[in-house]
Structure 1
Amino acid sequence: MLFAFTKEKQLVDASGADARKTYYCPDCGSVLIRKAGKLLIPHFAHTANENCQGMSEGETAEHLNLKKIFYQWGRQDDQHWKLEEPLKDLPQRPDLLNQKLVVEIQCSPLKTSRLEERVSGYRQMGYQDWWLLGRKLCPDKKFTALQKQFCSFSKARGVHLWGIKAGTITLFYHIYQRDQHYHYSKKSWPKYSEPLPMILNTTIRETPPKVILSKQSVIDKKTHLGLKLRQSDPKIRKIQDYLYHRYEHLLYLSDWLYFPSRYFFFYQDDILIFRLLFQQEAKNADRIFKKFLLYREKTQQHWSFCRIAEREILERLYLEAIFCQRKAKILLT
């Protein structure tokens, strides 16, 4: 952390702290150690045996530097930006705060339970939370489970994620997955180029990539599933086991069920189960959702996108199923 309290409860910047004095954590009140070196900028840290819930421990040089850059960047246009400001209504201290906007720069892995707790707390108290992934956590050719849990969703941007490398902010948007391949667009802002709120609220006018529905896409999907079935892929085996007990087979369902989905990123091949339920349940949305979520629970697959409302994705998956079924009458007859 870059700030700490003196004995008199004055907030002091680590770069100007007197090494002869004692400093305390603004969250838990324990004594802090001031550190400085060739690689790390001056900062405060707890001792190894301390367990403070307000601040993350083991801050990297990247994290410390990015917090300072972000703070200076924000205050170019708005003096309301605060660094490591303790929240009055939550036992949390975000990296940066501007009134009801909290910014978290994540440079190291974070447990899903801890992220869910922090996101839930912010939203219950009316804060807008903006998470940016550091250099090592930014996506490349694939999206890990860790990266996925930081994703957001909106109609204009689709699935999207923020990253920051060497002070450059990047928005990854219209993230789309088909089988093992990921696709996305991105937009970047160099350090100090625009006010931070303008970047956060930037308008994306680019439309999402079209999902191509065709006879060939059905053939390709069946071929891919057949290969995974022969390889005894564990996830595919779960789907086949479910179908077997309902006198169905993975490769002999209605052709339209194999159309590609814009929401494969969330549910992978379980979308086949959703569409089968859609076909069998006379389009009763609530019943479909309930049975689909029960299947996911029984196969130990849980919603890990704590920043995205699952209900919204299920509703979009439902509308997509209607569209695909109608399209099949034209394309597959």
Structure 2
Amino acid sequence: MLVALDQGGQVINLLCLKTSQIAELKTQHLVCPACRQRVYLKHGQVRMPHFAHVRLLSCAYNSENESFQHLSLKKDLFYWFAKTAQVSVEQFLPELQQIPDLLVNDKLAVEVQCSMLSVAKLQERTKGYLSKDYQVIWLTGKKLWLGHRLTVLKQQFLNFSLHVGFYYWEIDDQKKELRLNYLIHEDITGSLHYLVQHFAFGSGELLTILRQPFLKTGSELRVQPKHDIANYIRRQLHYKHPKWLKIQELYYHHGQHILADKQDMNQVCPVGLNYLTYQFEGIKVPEFCQVTKPIKSYYQQFIDYQHTHRDAPLYSPLVYATFFDGNLKRI
């Protein structure tokens, strides 16, 4: 943790102190802002200065094993935000019993997630912020970068806007950059396809960068078709993969065979849309805890557009909505 309270109840933020001032804290009586238990300064040769509980019992500041990556990224983001916005680090929110890594302009909670956590915990923390009208943005560290496959946990970090579709933030301590992965789509093998924007630390106003998903981009995504999809499906059925056995059962039940559906084998779809089964089961929208607006219409518009534009690039939801409805409502 990077903050503590002194004997007068004043917040001590290590990121706002000079080296000489930090050294003086070793002799002071300091307590945790949340649990009011004693904390002490850890200032070694390897890790950056931070506070730790003398005796950790139960505290909202569950950060005793914070990695250097996490501490370093919070520091970099704090200084970046501070150039143009009001920002506090690790401010305890008593009404939520939560502590965002950074709180910007009193309403935007920015969380830097470098370690694994349960889906239930992620959902709980997100819903907590939203219930009190805080906005929340999750920036994922190395262990949670998007990569080529979407795990159950990563799916819950996805967000959505009309202008860029599904998007996912990454933060890189080594390259000192923030990355926006957007127009995220998935093919039937589970491989992800998306575009990436890179933002070097300190370049431009950070709040403006975080608004990029809500700015019109005109981007499009082109994906080269795969030529071995049929063999891939045969292998999945041969090894009795539960997902593919269920899909095959649906086709059989309707007097069809999955391998006969040649046109749809190379279909690349928005995350969460199962292009192979919607004709039998209807459109099912999975849970995305960061997505608070309905997206079923996006799926339907995508399907309708693809039926007559199979060779077209993949566009933002705004393009499909505009194509079918001139009276667009903002999502």
Relative to the length of structure 2, the TM-score reads 0.78
Q: Which amino acid in 2 is paired with 1:4?
A: A
Where does residue 280 of structure 1 map in the other structure? none
Conserved? CA contact 1:84–1:95, under 8 Å? yes
Aligned residues: 297
Where does residue 305 of structure 1 map in the other structure? 288
Where does residue 81 of structure 1 map in the other structure? 87
Shift of 1:145: 3.6
CA deviation string 1:129-151 (max 9, x = no partner): 11111233323444444333212
Q: In the superposition, relative to structure 1, how do residues 187 and 206 fare at CA in structure 2: closer, same or farther (>3 Å)?
A: same
Where does residue 322 of structure 1 map in the other structure? 304
Distance 2:202 2:256 in 1: 58
Q: 1:171 and 2:180 equivalent? A: yes
Q: 1:13 and 2:26 equivalent? A: no
Worse overlay, 39-48 or 318-327: 318-327
Conserved? CA contact 1:159–1:175, under 8 Å? yes
Distance 2:228 2:279 in 1: 18
Distance 1:229 1:310 in 2: 36
Where does residue 111 of structure 2 map in the other structure? 104
Worse overlay, 155-164 or 24-33: 24-33
Shift of 1:104: 0.9
The equivalent position to 1:239 in structure 2, one of 225, 239, 247, is 247
Conserved? CA contact 2:40–2:51, under 8 Å? yes
- 1:182-331 equivalences in 2 (<5 Å): 182-202=192-212, 203=215, 205-210=217-222, 221-245=229-253, 247-252=255-260, 258=265, 260-263=267-270, 265-267=271-273, 270-277=274-281, 288-289=282-283, 292=284, 303=286, 305-309=288-292, 311-312=294-295, 314-325=296-307
Q: Which amino acid in 1 is paired with 2:3?
A: F
Distance 1:209 1:59 in 2: 37
Q: Which amino acid in 1 is paired with 2:210?
A: L
Q: Which amino acid in 1 is paired with 2:236?
A: K
CA deviation string 1:26-59 (max 9, x = no partner): 1222332432212211111236752323544421
Distance 1:58 1:71 in 2: 20
| SS of equivalent residue, structure 2 residue 290 | coil
Distance 2:137 2:72 in 1: 18
Where does residue 114 of structure 1 map in the other structure? 121
Gaps of at least 5 residues in structure 2 are 15-21, 311-331
Distance 2:305 2:27 in 1: 70
Distance 2:301 2:10 in 1: 56
Conserved? CA contact 1:158–1:208, under 8 Å? no
Q: In the superposition, relative to structure 1, how do residues 323 and 172 fare at CA in structure 2: closer, same or farther (>3 Å)?
A: closer
Conserved? CA contact 1:106–1:131, under 8 Å? yes
Distance 1:18 1:49 in 2: 20
Q: In the superposition, relative to structure 1, how do residues 244 and 48 fare at CA in structure 2: closer, same or farther (>3 Å)?
A: farther
Overall identity of the aligned pairs, in %: 29
Q: In the superposition, relative to structure 1, how do residues 185 and 226 fare at CA in structure 2: closer, same or farther (>3 Å)?
A: same
Q: In the superposition, relative to structure 1, how do residues 239 and 133 fare at CA in structure 2: closer, same or farther (>3 Å)?
A: same
Q: 1:181 and 2:191 equivalent? A: yes
Conserved? CA contact 1:159–1:174, under 8 Å? yes
Q: Which amino acid in 2 is paired with 1:89?
A: E
| SS of equivalent residue, structure 1 residue 51 | coil
Q: In the superposition, relative to structure 1, how do residues 115 and 66 fare at CA in structure 2: closer, same or farther (>3 Å)?
A: same
Conserved? CA contact 2:269–2:275, under 8 Å? no
Q: Which amino acid in 1 is paired with 2:126?
A: V
Conserved? CA contact 2:250–2:280, under 8 Å? no
The structure richer in helix per residue is 1
Relative to the length of structure 1, the TM-score reads 0.77
Conserved? CA contact 2:26–2:40, under 8 Å? no
Worse overlay, 85-94 or 43-52: 43-52
| SS of equivalent residue, structure 2 residue 111 | strand
Where does residue 95 of structure 1 map in the other structure? 101
